Structure 1
Amino acid sequence: MGLYLSALLQGLCFAGIAFGIYISMKIFNIPDITTDGSYTLGGVVTGIMLTHNQPGWMILLAVIGAGAVAGALTGIIHTKLKINALLAGILVMTALYSVNLTILGRSNLPLLSLPSLFSVLNVLTDPNQNSLIILSLFVAALTLLIGYLLKTDFGIAMRATGNSEQMVRALGVNTDRMKIIGLAIANALTALSGYLITQFQGFADISMGIGVVIIGLGSVIIAETLINWLQITSVWLSLVLVLAGAVIFQLVLAFTLDIGVNPNLLKMVTAMFVLIIVGLPRLTSSKA
């Protein structure tokens, strides 16, 4: 049971990545690989500021700001220099490795002895159950904030930019600015996942972001499958399903470990799981 509770907690920590991928890929149709770097950036900034005893609100703002700057750089390279979005993300992600290593100053930074977000509130004696309450409140507030943003005029303009860029540009909307801001928001959310997971696991690591984009992608694909099956059009319900996708993804990995699969094969299992959830709907539709 403890394994599945840990998976649930990790799924909630990865909600930011899932929301970020949802914004970049499903709203703007941009495959943003900056995710790997901005996730680590969030963790690195969190770790360093915790070791310097900075207040929690300052750490949170610094993480959001750092992730937003990383995403904005990708957006600027893509829109202003007219470089392919995938390549722009790869360039920024590669540069962020050096930035993260410079900030961290080492490959791994332990944080177990330091106060964190999960030690602020002690409602229950069990640390995992206590973390569940804190994470649930944090992610619920984040979901409400994103849902509200996407329902505003600005959010509607963002969604319209992804659906029909030429039409939105004809209406006088600066689509380049929308993409830059959208990628900044997406990577700020991704950095928040790094902020959460670093404090949950008790360390920051320079390689923590390698392949993490597959987690967000898998979560969004699970959500998209559910959205299509249930024919959901509500933004709020879509976000809830994206969050559910992140949790389901982690629970599947936990089940894989629980049945005795070698942990060394976990990355391969992850790739196969994403392949299955991508391929099955396509195979079903082609047979129909």
Structure 2
Amino acid sequence: MFISLFGAMESGVIYALMALGVYLTFRVLDFPDLTVDGSFVTGAAVAGISIINGVPPILATMLAAVAGFMAGCVTGVLHTKGKINALLSGILMMTALYSINLRILGQPTLSMLGETTLFTQLESVWQMTGLDSVLNGMLSITGLERLPSTWAIFLVMTVVTLLIKFLTDYYLKTEVGLALRAIGDNKRMIRSLSANTDTLTIMGVGLSNGLVALSGGLIAQHGGFADVNMGIGMIVIGLASVIIGEALFGTKTIARATLAVILGAVIYRMIVTLALRVDFLETGDMKLITAVIVIGALVAPKLIQVRKEKKRRLAKRNQLTRQVKEVS
């Protein structure tokens, strides 16, 4: 159980980058962007083919983010300059990216087994520090399995994800970031202040898909393969992470909201892992599990709010009843 949950936390931290990208479009820009399903694979494809062709893993990962940024910018251009509906722009780009990703990969599935990836390098560095032997010794006392590399991946990816979170917080508090947030709240108002809403929208959608592609590149290296269909349903997973995080941790400030998204991604992966351990559920039921989780995350806060409102009304009614009795 511990190994499964630890693996869920590990992948959840990586998927949190994708969830942050979805948060930028879904919450900040109020832009329903379906490019995510395609740009996630674009990041995986670019990272995978680059590593196989001898590009250093860190550079390959950066190229994946750049490719996703470019894909997002195209979606933004279709919407702002082409005057195409935001939802349709994302669908068109997602459809186009399927063929583009297949071209990049050269085949439906690209294996990176045996290649030097960012995570194999982390494993080597981790073993050189000697910390793996210390942790494995502690785990052996508790009777758990050895974890030679996943500790390094989890710790480093947690630091990287938090660093990107803080950079996102800082960016959204700058003048450009405030204008970006204003577009999501009231585009007409920000346009009346002579702000270039088209450029800001293109940049915002580009940054969002850059984070999504970065997550895709890391997931491909983590799993050892890139598949042209691995992005199906990513937008739902991203939305699930955002909604779960917001429902559990709130969104009073930008810093709190981005942290909630990260924690939501981790919790989502843990819920899915636990659900798949149920006997009658199979791996093929993952999409169903995701749908149920999203429905629960959407409905539960409203039910809780209704219950609180009922309690508040009941308390007010009882108070009025007591006051009437005291007067009489």
Report whether the alignment pairs 1:238 with 2:260: no
On the 8 A contact 2:77/2:202 being kept in 1, the answer is yes
Q: Deviations over 1:209-262 (max 9, x none)?
A: 01111110000111221344xxx4221121111100000000000110223322
Per the alignment, residue 212 of structure 1 pairs with: 234
Instruction: Return the alpha-carbon distance in structure 2 between the equivalents of residues 262 and 104 of structure 1.
Output: 29
Find the counterpart in structure 1 of residue 278 from structure 2.
Answer: 259
Letter in 1 for 2:252: T
Within-5 A mapping of 1:45-194: 45-121=46-122, 122-123=125-126, 124-125=131-132, 126-194=148-216
Unaligned ranges ≥5, structure 2: 133-147, 310-328
Contact 1:16/1:191 (<8 A) preserved: no
SS at match of 1:120: helix
Q: Structure 2: which amino acid aligns with 1:132?
A: F
The residue type paired with residue 10 of structure 2 is: L
**Aligned-partner SS, 2:226:** strand
The one-character-per-residue Cα deviations of 1:61-100 (angstroms, maximum 9, x if unpaired) are 3112110111111111111121111110000000000000
Q: Which residue of 2 aligns with 1:248?
A: 267
| 1:2 corresponds to | 3
Q: CA deviation at 1:26?
A: 0.2
Aligned partners of 1:282, 1:70: CA distance in 2, in Å? 36
Shift of 1:284: 4.0
* Separation in 2, partners of 1:44, 1:286: 46
Check the 8 A contact 1:35/1:93 in 2, yes or no: yes
The CA deviation at 1:60 is 2.6
**Partner residue of 2:220 out of 182, 192, 198:** 198
Normalised to the residue count of structure 1, the TM-score between the two structures is: 0.95
TM-score, length-normalised on structure 2? 0.84
CA RMSD of aligned residues (A): 1.4
Q: CA deviation at 1:113?
A: 0.6
Displacement of 1:7: 0.5
Check conservation: 2:20, 2:208, Cα contact below 8 A.
yes
When Rg is computed on C-alpha atoms for both structures, the one with the higher figure is 2
In the TM superposition, residue 286 of structure 1 has moved relative to its aligned partner by 5.1
**AA matched with 1:141:** L
